[in-house]
Amino acid sequence: MSCQHPNCFYPIHSTCTNHCHWSLCEEHINEHRKSLLTEFEELLQDLINPTDELSKLMETRKQIFTVEQHKQLDYLKQTHEKQINIIELPLITINKFQEQHNKISKHLVQIKTNEISLKQNDFQQIDTLSKEINQYKNSLKAKENQILTMKLLAIFVLHKEGDKKVKILQEEFNLESFGYFERRGVQPLLVFSARTVTERTALGTRQSVEADQNVNALVHVYVRPDGLASVIIADSEYPQRVAHTLLSKVMDDFTNAYPPSSWANMNEQTGKMASLSEVLRKYQNPQEADPLMRLQKDLDDTKDILKSTLVNVLERGEKIDDLVARSSDLSFEAKAFYKTARKTNRCCTLF
């Protein structure tokens, strides 16, 4: 038999058993082997570029991770120093009280040994020191009570389609500060306020809306450019920056749980993100949000957060009473509760 190479009639020398199984003459089998080797080298060379790219990519990620880790360590250090300062400042004042106490104690020893006489001024010093200590003690308690009395009343995740259509995908409430019967009226009003403010907030906008001049409550809202929105309703003492940090966290968590492609097809109240109730519980104390503040780089300056009132948020010609009357979020009982609370300026009403 002759060589299988085209136009070759030389006798077969050997067969390419590992590749094409052609039977070739000596010249063409050597040529074939060289060709295969060249092809293999070229393929191997082609692997160098993507391998180098992967290597560079991982090196870049490593650098980013290292930089981010240093930032986190710096932040933890700063937070630690801040917390230490918070503790040390009162200790400095307390040490001054102790120094004054020690000074008076030494004075007492001198009086007992008849080195000096007991005078009216000595009693005045003790009285003054006692008042200063009690005043400082009360001021520390007042600061603690201020934190403890801050309240997050509700958190909502919503989706805004078009100019106004808004769906509430998930909600959580903390109504422990209200009486049992009040809760049945308050909760629908919170839902109504969340939907109303979100409908009137443009895409890509943050704002904090005062519910009413007679009410100690703020509606914090952030509508992302992709239409996902979150609302936090809290009392006015709750730090605005913390509230808006939580808004971003809630939406990031929701996006991880439900991809954007699913939002338009979700029905009302179908979100089941377990972390929402944990956020509402954990961040009743705003100090718990300190680690989150570093992550929200877009909130370094709160001047970008619009501040408004509910009346200003409403469109021209709209009245809150008319919106309440037409709202499907409010039952007959809730509307009656609203009217009664409105007339009496009850603290539990939001409008």
Tell me the pairing of strands 152-161 and 165-173: antiparallel
Same domain, 127 and 162: no
Query: Residues 6 or more apart from 108 whose CB is under 8 A from it?
Result: none
Q: Considering 148, 181, 214, which residue would you say is the last residue of a domain?
A: 148
What is the average pLDDT across 235-246? 86
Same domain, 40 and 184: no
Residue 164 is predicted with a pLDDT of 66
What is the average pLDDT across 316-325? 64
In a domain, 95, yes or no: yes
Confidence of residue 346 (pLDDT cuts 50, 70, 90): very low
C-beta of residue 242 within 8 angstroms of C-beta of residue 258: no
What is the average pLDDT across 337-346? 60
Q: Domain limits at 134?
A: 65-148
Q: What is the pLDDT of residues 26-75, one digit of tens each?
A: 888 888 888 888 888 888 888 787 878 888 888 888 888 787 777 767 75
Same domain, 117 and 144: yes
Residue 332 is predicted with a pLDDT of 63
Same domain, 197 and 335: yes
In a domain, 57, yes or no: no
Residue 125 is predicted with a pLDDT of 85
Residue 301 is predicted with a pLDDT of 46
Same domain, 156 and 118: no
Same domain, 193 and 337: yes
- Taking the model in full, what pTM does it have? 0.54
Mean pLDDT of the chain: 79
CATH of the domain at 218: 3.30.450.50
Same domain, 134 and 159: no
Of the spans 159-168, 197-206, 288-297, 314-323, which averages the highest pLDDT?
197-206
Total count of domains within the chain: 3
Cα separation, 251 vs 248, whole angstroms: 5
In a domain, 56, yes or no: no
In a domain, 12, yes or no: yes
Residue 204 backbone phi and psi in degrees, to 5: 75, 20
Residue 290 CB burial class (10 angstroms; 0-12, 13-18, ≥19): middle
Same domain, 184 and 307: yes
In a domain, 54, yes or no: no
Same domain, 126 and 209: no
Cα separation, 158 vs 41, whole angstroms: 57
The packing angle between helices 48-112 and 26-46, to 10°, is 30
pLDDT for residue 158 is more than 60: yes
What is the average pLDDT across 233-242? 86
**What's the DSSP call for residue 266?**
P
Task: Using a pLDDT cut of 90, give the percent of the chain over it.
Answer: 16
Same domain, 127 and 176: no
- At 294 the three-state DSSP class reads coil
Smallest Cα–Cα separation from 280: which of 102, 144, 155?
A: 155
**What's the DSSP call for residue 235?**
-
Same domain, 190 and 289: yes
In a domain, 131, yes or no: yes
In a domain, 272, yes or no: yes
What is the average pLDDT across 149-163? 84
Task: Using a pLDDT cut of 70, give the percent of the chain over it.
Answer: 74
Q: Considering 148, 165, 186, which residue would you say is the last residue of a domain?
A: 148
In a domain, 350, yes or no: no
Q: Considering 111, 130, 148, which residue would you say is the last residue of a domain?
A: 148
Q: What is the pLDDT of residues 271-301, one digit of tens each?
A: 988 889 888 888 888 777 766 655 554 444 4
Query: Residues 6 or more apart from 251 whose CB is under 8 A from it?
Result: 157, 222, 224, 228, 229, 230
pLDDT for residue 347 is more than 50: no
Same domain, 260 and 163: yes
